[in-house]
Amino acid sequence: MKKDLLALSVLVFLLIALFSGTRIQSVEDYYLTHIDDIQKDSETVFLTVRCDSVFAHWEDLDPVLAEGSYLPQDGIVLARTEYVLRPGDTVYDILNRAMRYNKIPMECAYSIGYESVYVQGIHHLYEFSCGELSGWMYQVNGVFPNYGCSRFELSDKDEIVWIYTCDLGRDIGAGGGWQR
């Protein structure tokens, strides 16, 4: 009987650990994020998200996305907007806050090999949605850093652009190989 109690308590402990780790939020709660107001002395960055390269590779695009009204007409998911930079903010933090604030769906995954967050899709446009060389890339001050977006720490007045590529970056001017 003692052994039974032991096994039962281990099971209960595991269940508690599982449920204490999960947090359920309603859609309204999730999108109710706080964006800092821009003060005179606050540090800021600019963020743009666009996918106009899709129009040049329309024949490769997933037919579901091509038929439906999922893509913005002009290819601009988020026009250039100024956001307050909190100390230690990375490119990912800014993107996540902006997408949440504007209620644009986004999906990303943490990749252990690169020790960074990888953005899989923004606004229903995912990696591989437009040919097998397609996906989201980011640019800071006109340069493609070619490493994970949650490892890039931003500084004042940085210019971030997230661009959708259909050809591994070659169609949007990002040559060169990958850096870890």
Partner 1 sequence: MKYFDRLHPLPAFVYFLMILLLTMFTSHPVAVGISYFSALFFCGMLLGVKKLFASLAYTLPITLLIALANPLFVHRGETILFFLNDNPVTLEAILYGVQSAFMIMAVFYWCRNYSRVMTSDKFIYLFGRILPKLSLIFSLSLAFLPKLKRKYREIDRAQKALGFYAGKSRFDKVRAKMRVLSILLTNSLESAVTTADSMRARGYGLKGRSSFALYRVTPADMAFLAATLLAGSALVVMLFFGVGDFHYYPAMSKLSWSPLFSCFVLIFALLAFLPTASEIREDLLWHRLRSKI
Q: Evaluate whether 144 touches 138 at the Cβ level (below 8 Å).
A: yes
Report which of 102, 95, 28, 108 is spatially closest to residue 72, judged by C-alpha positions.
102
**By C-alpha distance, which of 71, 172, 55 is closest to 124?**
71
Q: What x-and-dash track marks residues 15-54 binding partner 1 by CB under 8 A?
A: ------xxxxxxx-xx------------------------
Q: Looking only at residues 60 through 79 of this chain, which bind partner 1 when binding is defined by CB under 8 A?
A: 64-65, 68, 70
Contact range with partner 1 by CB under 8 A, out of 45-53, 118-126, 131-139, 161-169? 118-126
Footprint of partner 1 on 79-98 (CB under 8 A): none
Q: Give the residue with the Cβ less far from partner 1, 123 or 144.
A: 123
Minimum distance between the CB of residue 63 and partner 1, rounded to whole angstroms?
9
Q: Are strands 159-165 and 44-50 parallel, antiparallel or unpaired?
A: parallel
Specify which residues 47 forms β-bridges with.
Answer: 81, 160
Can residue 128 be called a binding residue for partner 1 (CB under 8 A)?
Answer: no
Beta strands 159-165 and 135-140: pairing type? antiparallel
10 Å CB burial of residue 159 (0-12, 13-18, 19+) is middle
Instruction: Measure the N-to-C terminal CA separation of the chain; round to a whole number of Å.
Output: 55
Using CB under 8 A as the binding rule, whether residue 124 contacts partner 1 is answered as yes
Measured from the CB atom, is 68 or 173 closer to partner 1? 68
* Residue (30 or 58) nearer to partner 1, CB: 30
For binding to partner 1 (CB under 8 A), which residues are involved?
A: 1-4, 6-7, 21-27, 29-30, 64-65, 68, 70, 105, 107, 121, 124, 126
